[in-house]
């Protein structure tokens, strides 16, 4: 199949937390024989911050984020068998959502949400949001997490079919590498400064650092430059995806902190969780519903609810214990959570959409399809 996707960017992680997810899903869809085109708006300086890597599996395009530029891309998209509109491009989203939905029935059209809590929250807050009218027009809605709340939210909004395609691990991209002494620390957290996450970072990371002045903490990500921090926290700014392995393998423990909305919805393991699993490093993860569906707490991942929990974990787990947990973390990810598996789920979903389209064309009434990863 020819698949044409609109998304923030597949070439850079700069202010684009979905980059690893896009790469994993589309890389393995391409390996299954599909032809991928990924179109992104030329916005937010992303074009000036490309990551290193081999992106030969995809034809990556940029377009001017104007109505005319969007129409030119839609003309290209109309040549595909499947057209995907991802959420959160940042410019032209409403126009694209409407116009992509209008491309069916000649081709399959899918809304693939990389932030279901934000999209559903936006719709709930505004009954006049035009996306209310668009949802029933798509052949299917995919989300990268969100669990029962995301599923019910989209079904209530009239989705014809719903599939949850979780984040995953690409072992060719995220894997153990030698530690870098310049990045050695007890705990590292990598994440951009966002209002929806800052309070949780203050509690789990910054307050934990303040409670353990003899330990070393590293903070990576954009936006933290003017944040007051304990003296044992070192801020290193934006970290390219190319450097994530080196960072993850240099820390004794890596912390994950979900945004508050995703933690509330639950069932939303972010890319960072699987990146760290690929490194085989022990993870401290904030608590949210569904985490134990992905990894076994205490044996494969350490769940923390407060700064005191972080300190207790640091005191309890020596190097041997951390290595054992990290190794189990990696093996579980390789067994159950690879992007190769996610791509197969997406491929099956596209095929089911084609079957339902043919059923509708013949006058049949296809049943609602609800599946989760």
pLDDT at 371: 66
> 135 φ, ψ to 5°?
-50, -50
Q: Are 254 and 276 in contact (CB under 8 A)?
A: yes
Among 86-90, 265-269, 364-368, the range scoring the smallest mean pLDDT is 364-368
236 burial level (CB within 10 Å; 0-12, 13-18, 19+): middle
Residue 15 confidence (pLDDT) above 90: no
Max Cα-Cα span within the chain: 70
Q: Which residues in 247-368 belong to E strands, given as ranges?
A: 251-256, 282-286, 302-304
* Residue 368's pLDDT band (cuts 50, 70, 90): low
DSSP, residue by residue, 20-78? HHHHHHHHHHHHTT-EEEEEEES-TTGGGSPPPS--TTEEEEEE-SSHHHHHHHHHHHT
pLDDT tens profile 103-119:
989 999 999 999 999 99
Structure tokens at 68: 């005319």
Q: Beta strands of the chain (E only): which ranges?
A: 2-6, 35-41, 58-63, 82-86, 108-113, 140-143, 161-164, 185-190, 217-220, 233-235, 251-256, 282-286, 302-304, 369-372
| Cα gap 41→288, rounded to integer Å | 33
The whole-chain average pLDDT of the chain stands at 95
CB 46 within 8 Å of CB 60: no
> Whole-model pTM?
0.92
278 within 8 A of 295, measured Cβ to Cβ: no
Q: Has residue 254 got a pLDDT over 70? A: yes
In degrees, rounded to 5, the angle at the alpha carbon of residue 218 between the alpha carbons of residues 196 and 290 is: 45
pLDDT tens digits, one per residue of 269-291: 999 999 999 999 999 999 999 99
């992106």: which residue's tokens? 55
Question: Are 136 and 159 contacting, i.e. CB atoms less than 8 angstroms apart?
Answer: yes
Which domains, and CATH codes, for the chain?
A: 2-168+339-372 (3.40.50.2000), 181-336 (3.40.50.2000)
DSSP, res 261: H
Mean pLDDT to the nearest integer, 10-25: 91
Proportion of the chain above pLDDT 70, given as a percent: 98
pLDDT interval class at 257 (50, 70, 90): very high
Give how far the C-alpha of residue 149 lies from the chain's centroid of Cα atoms, to the nearest Å. 17
Q: Report residue 240's pLDDT band, with 50, 70 and 90 as the boundaries.
A: confident
Residue range 210-232, pLDDT digits in tens: 999 999 999 999 999 999 999 99
Closest CA to 3 of 95, 85, 91, 68: 85
């Amino acid at each position: 199949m020819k698949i044409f996707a609109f998304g923030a960017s597949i070439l850079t992680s700069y202010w684009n937390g979905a980059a690893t997810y896009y790469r994993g899903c589309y890389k393995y869809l391409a390996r299954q024989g599909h032809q991928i085109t990924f179109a992104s708006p030329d916005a937010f300086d992303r074009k000036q911050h490309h990551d290193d890597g081999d992106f030969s599996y995809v034809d990556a395009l940029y377009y001017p984020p104007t109505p005319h530029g969007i129409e030119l891309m839609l003309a290209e998209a109309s040549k595909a068998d499947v057209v995907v509109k991802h959420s959160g491009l940042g410019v032209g989203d409403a126009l694209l959502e409407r116009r992509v939905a209008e491309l069916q029935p000649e081709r399959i059209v899918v809304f693939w949400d990389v932030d279901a809590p934000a999209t559903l929250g936006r719709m709930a807050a505004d009954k006049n949001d035009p996306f209310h009218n668009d949802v029933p027009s798509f052949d299917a809605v995919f989300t990268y997490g969100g669990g029962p709340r995301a599923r019910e939210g989209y079904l209530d909004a009239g989705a014809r079919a719903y599939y949850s395609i979780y984040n995953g691990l690409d072992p060719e991209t995220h894997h153990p590498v030698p530690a870098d002494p310049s990045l050695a620390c007890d705990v590292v957290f990598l994440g951009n400064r966002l209002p929806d996450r800052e309070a949780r970072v203050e509690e789990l990371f910054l307050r934990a650092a303040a409670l353990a002045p003899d330990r070393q903490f590293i903070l990576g990500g954009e936006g933290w430059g003017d944040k007051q921090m304990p003296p044992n926290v070192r801020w290193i700014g934006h970290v390219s995806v190319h450097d994530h392995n080196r960072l993850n393998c240099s820390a004794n423990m890596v912390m994950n902190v979900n945004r508050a909305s995703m933690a509330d919805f639950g069932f939303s393991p972010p890319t960072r969780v699987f990146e760290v699993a690929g490194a085989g490093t022990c993870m401290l993860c904030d608590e949210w519903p569904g985490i134990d569906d992905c990894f076994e707490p205490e044996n494969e991942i350490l769940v923390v609810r407060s700064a005191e929990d972080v300190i207790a974990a640091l005191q309890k787990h020596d190097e041997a214990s951390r290595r054992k947990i990290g190794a189990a973390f990696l093996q579980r990810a390789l067994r159950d959570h690879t992007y190769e598996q996610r791509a197969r789920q997406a491929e099956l979903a596209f095929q089911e959409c084609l079957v339902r389209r043919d059923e509708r064309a013949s006058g049949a009434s296809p049943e609602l399809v609800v599946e989760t990863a």
